[in-house]
Chain A
Amino acid sequence: MAGDLPNSASELRFRDTEKARALAEALSRLTREVGHAPVSVMHVCGSHEQAIARFGLRSAFPTDLDVIMGPGCPVCITDLPEVDEAVALAAKGVIIATYGDMVRVPGTVKSLADAQADGAHVEIVYSVAQAIDLARESSQEVVFFATGFETTAVATAAVLLADPPPNFSVLSAHKYIPPVMEIVAEMPETRIEGFLAAGHAATITGWGVFEPFVERHGIPVVVAGFEPLDILAGLVKLVELIRDQKADVVNMFPRCVTHEGNLRAQEQLWKLFRPVGGRWRGIAHVPNGNLRLRDEWAALDARKRFDIDVSSLWDYAPPALSQACICGDIMAGIASPHDCRLFGRECLPENPVGACMVSSEGTCKIWHLYGGHPDLAEVGS
């Protein structure tokens, strides 16, 4: 029967099996009490999807609860023209430093890996601070191709405020999560009834950042951590709010998240960046969804420092396979990887067609590795 507790919930490797069982039971009961099926909620964080898939949490969810991953993979939503800008800069002979997954993400025609194969100098870094070190050791121009949400953008802001070397600049593709939640909430195809917000992004912004959203859209938001029990507890609270038709923000991750967030980090973030509208790959134009350097920091902005001509890359039509890729629909929560005819066939982690199969935070790569509904026997083994 729909909504029944799966027998297997207790077999999951939770730190506290009793607590997990009680939470799974509550989740089942509350989902049933909502009174319609399915109940659809969205999370917006690759780390949440990793934990849900890795620990086989969907086996503990009631069948009438759809927990969908939205646009929570920063690599995946980086738009083609943004990759093109990095490729064009690399072709100009500047050193491009960027986070690992970005190198293989396809642009309109080429990825940075392709540019590298053509002789461009591309360096993978784990931190923007390492890109600074690279610039200090080099006489060439170093451009940090900056991706990631607000959690990562604060680090970019911090190094720019700490007297970077003169040959260092930033090509910002940073994105800001709260505005995209508005877009997804308004999409007619998605019937999202509640959002599970990512704990670590909220560590920076505070949970208060979601209050205007909740007021405007009448959809509850619960901030949750990443441990399996944190996620279950977050979902229990979220479905309870849906059942009670209460559009509130509830912080279920108080060990990391406060109402006002990390003010010191926010101060640095907004000193350097301003939110502007822009496309998120496969999703839509997102008003205020992109973080760009403010005009007073033009000297550190690669878009101002260099004449970036991406049009020269647009002489070719995109390959046919990538046109069949439904990454955008998957990130908008309209489709799942199993709806894609390329998933696991032409599109594989070693030969990805779309960005969702490139990034370790992409839904397709996560499902390919762990399965969306993994066999419990393999969980935690």
Chain B
Amino acid sequence: MCLGVPGRVVDVAGSLATVDFWGVRRQVRLDIVDQPVSPGDYILNHVGFAIRRIPSEEIEETLALYEILLREAGADDLMLADMKSEIDATGPGTEDGR
């Protein structure tokens, strides 16, 4: 539950950002994040809120854990389930969001 999940910001409108999580576009709230967020930035989403803007030089390292989970984890994997519920915690996607 405290794992959070990183995503790439594609659009910002007020206190809401449209964020791409491995091809799934969802809405994340920006009420808590303490740095300005613009399209192209990566944020860490926890229960539907960005809690941190990830510095650009750290993105690859941050994504690594999640990519391992997506690649290798079985359907009943607890960490993959956590990751999916973090994405489900965001608002429904806009545009072509699935």
CB 8 Å contact bits of A208-230 with B (1 = contact, 0 = none): 00000000000000000011100
- Most chain B beta-carbon neighbours within 10 Å: one of A15, A126, A130: A126
Give which listed residue, A51, A158, A360, contacts B29 with CB less than 8 A.
A158
How far does the alpha carbon of A51 sit from the alpha carbon of B65 in the complex, in Å? 10
Interface residues of B in 4-62 (CB under 8 A from A): 4, 15, 29, 31-34, 44, 46-49, 51-52, 54-55, 58, 61-62
CB 8 Å contact bits of A121-143 with B (1 = contact, 0 = none): 00000111110000000000000
How far does the alpha carbon of A361 sit from the alpha carbon of B82 in the complex, in Å? 9
User: Residue of A at shortest CB range from B51?
Assistant: A203
Interface residues of A in 70-119 (CB under 8 A from B): 74-75, 99-101
How far does the alpha carbon of A23 sit from the alpha carbon of B33 in the complex, in Å? 33
Chain A residues near B33 (CB-CB < 8 A):
262, 264-265
Closest chain A CB from B37 CB (angstroms): 12
Closest chain A CB from B88 CB (angstroms): 4
Indicate if the CB atoms of A204 and B51 lie closer than 8 Å. Answer: yes
Indicate if the CB atoms of B78 and A50 lie closer than 8 Å. Answer: yes
How far does the alpha carbon of A198 sit from the alpha carbon of B51 in the complex, in Å? 14
Indicate if the CB atoms of A151 and B82 lie closer than 8 Å. Answer: no
How far does the alpha carbon of A54 sit from the alpha carbon of B74 in the complex, in Å? 11
How far does the alpha carbon of A53 sit from the alpha carbon of B78 in the complex, in Å? 10
Indicate if the CB atoms of A200 and B61 lie closer than 8 Å. Answer: no
Place the interface of chain B in its size category: 35 or more
- Decide yes or no whether B95 CB sits under 8 A from chain A: no
- Decide yes or no whether A162 CB sits under 8 A from chain B: yes
Give which listed residue, B32, B54, B62, B88, contacts A265 with CB less than 8 A.
B32
Interface residues of A in 18-77 (CB under 8 A from B): 45-47, 50-51, 54, 74-75
Indicate if the CB atoms of A201 and B34 lie closer than 8 Å. Answer: no
Closest chain A CB from B35 CB (angstroms): 9
- Most chain A beta-carbon neighbours within 10 Å: one of B33, B52, B55, B85: B52
- Decide yes or no whether A187 CB sits under 8 A from chain B: no
How far does the alpha carbon of A155 sit from the alpha carbon of B51 in the complex, in Å? 9
Closest chain B CB from A311 CB (angstroms): 31
Interface residues of B in 55-98 (CB under 8 A from A): 55, 58, 61-62, 64-65, 68, 72, 76-79, 81-82, 85-86, 88-91
User: Residue of A at shortest CB range from B32?
Assistant: A265
Indicate if the CB atoms of A126 and B79 lie closer than 8 Å. Answer: no
Give which listed residue, B62, B78, B89, contacts A54 with CB less than 8 A.
B78
Indicate if the CB atoms of A256 and B52 lie closer than 8 Å. Answer: yes
Chain A residues near B82 (CB-CB < 8 A):
47, 50, 360
Indicate if the CB atoms of B79 and A50 lie closer than 8 Å. Answer: yes
Give which listed residue, A75, A127, A365, contacts B78 with CB less than 8 A.
A365
User: Residue of B at shortest CB range from A74?
Assistant: B1
Chain B residues near A129 (CB-CB < 8 A):
29, 47-49, 89, 91
Chain A residues near B72 (CB-CB < 8 A):
13, 380-381
Chain A residues near B51 (CB-CB < 8 A):
151, 154, 200, 203-204, 262, 265
Closest chain B CB from A207 CB (angstroms): 14
| Chain A residues in the interface with B (C-beta under 8 A) | 13, 15, 45-47, 50-51, 54, 74-75, 99-101, 126-130, 148-149, 151-152, 154-155, 158-159, 161-162, 198, 200-201, 203-204, 226-228, 255-256, 262-265, 268, 360-361, 365-366, 369-370, 380-381
A-B residue pairs in contact (CB < 8 Å), sample of 6: A46-B2, A50-B78, A51-B79, A128-B48, A148-B2, A381-B72
